[in-house]
Amino acid sequence: MVQFTFDIGVVEVLIQLLGVLVGSVVVYQAVRGYRRNDSRAMLFLALGLLILGPIYFGVALVPGRSALAGLVNQLLDIVGLGLILYSLTRA
């Protein structure tokens, strides 16, 4: 009989790493758009996506996360979304 154990911690880390990877690709494309068009709006969009993507998931990968890490992620959400809002309305 084969026994299979499922470690949710490993799955969580793999999902976080996938988030960093996908977020990095999205940010790379936004930076390419900024360079191609020299658009201030694209720069702020790229910065917002950087915070909401790779940085957000990177913070989530920190071992021994505490309530402080949760607070940091919430602040990153607010800052990232604020930058994206600015890119869409004012930049």
pLDDT digits (tens, 9 = 90+) for 18-53: 999 999 999 999 999 999 999 999 999 999 999 999
Q: What is the pLDDT of residue 63?
A: 79
Prediction pTM value: 0.82
Instruction: Fill in the amino acid letter for 84.
Output: I
Q: What is the pLDDT of residue 91?
A: 62
Instruction: Fill in the amino acid letter for 85.
Output: L
The residue among 29 and 1 whose pLDDT is bigger is 29
The average pLDDT across 6-10 equals 80
The average pLDDT across 50-57 equals 93
How far apart CA 22 and CA 54 sit, in angstroms, is: 8
How far apart CA 17 and CA 64 sit, in angstroms, is: 17
Q: What is the pLDDT of residue 10?
A: 85
